[in-house]
A and B are shown apart, each in its own frame.
Chain A
Amino acid sequence: MSQDDLLPRVTGSTVMTHERGFHARPSIMLTQLASRFSSRVWIGLAEHGPWTDAKSIARVMALKAPHQTTVFFAAEGPDSAAAVRALVDLVQSDFTNAKDPDP
């Protein structure tokens, strides 16, 4: 991760309002959304990590972020800003906003 820290990184965060927290379906939706971006995308439960690959369904599901947790996103790559915005929007929409991200 030390090499990653040297690269420009876009971050964002939001509070998990989904009443049951980060369970199976939200994890799947988040992973599918993250995978649509070419940037590397991470999710974490604290501002400075540790970071989990947001494109890995097994790892995202294992996070088990409960209700009212603040979730943090970080991304590096050509569409990093759009990726972080889309993931924050997904969580803020209570996982009802699963539309394709803008090109």
Chain B
Amino acid sequence: MIVSHSPDVAKGVADMVRQMVGKDVPLAWCGGDPGGGLGTSMEAIEKALQTAWSERGVVVMVDMGGAETNSELAIERLPEKKRAKVVVCNAPIVEGSVMAATESSAGSPLDKVRHAAEELYPRM
């Protein structure tokens, strides 16, 4: 799942993942504030979490600042059982999303998908 301040960036990353990795991986994106400007919305993040959800869990790729804090707040509001299966990755949003989706397409568990995203590219 992809959370950016910009809906264009979020959608662009999602398109790139679809084209490079394929259509089999559950994927959702959100970006922008409710007024149409740059920002992130917890409601939109919660909705995207529902879309991206599968029993294997969800890795959340964020760009910076509020994307991360709002994602963490949205995760805290999930039921406890789901909460344990959602992680925010410490990886750059484009490269990390492609890496995570590639690992996920092999059917790997959540911790392996997260590791693939974070392995070579710590986010600033």
Contacts and interface: CB of A to CB of B under 8 A. Distances in A.
A35 B116 CA distance: 13
B106 interface: yes
Nearest to A33: B106
B106 A58 contact: no
Given A56-B116, A58-B119, A58-B120, A35 B20 contact: no
Interface in B1-32: 20-22
Contacts of A10: none
A16 B20 CA distance: 20
Interface residues of B, number: 15
B21 A28 contact: yes
Contacts, number: 37
B106 A24 contact: no
B98 A56 contact: no
B106 A59 contact: no
Contact of B99 (A25, A32, A57): A57
Contact of B106 (A25, A55, A61, A62): A55
B90 interface: no
Contacts of A36: 106
A32 B120 contact: no
A57 B102 contact: yes
Contacts of B116: 56-58
Interface in B75-113: 98-99, 102-103, 105-108
A31 interface: yes
Contacts of B107: 35
Interface string A51-79: 00001111101100000000000000000
A24 B98 contact: yes
Contacts of B119: 56, 58-59
A31 B106 contact: yes
Contact of A28 (B20, B108, B120, B121): B20
A31 B99 CA distance: 10
Interface in B26-84: none
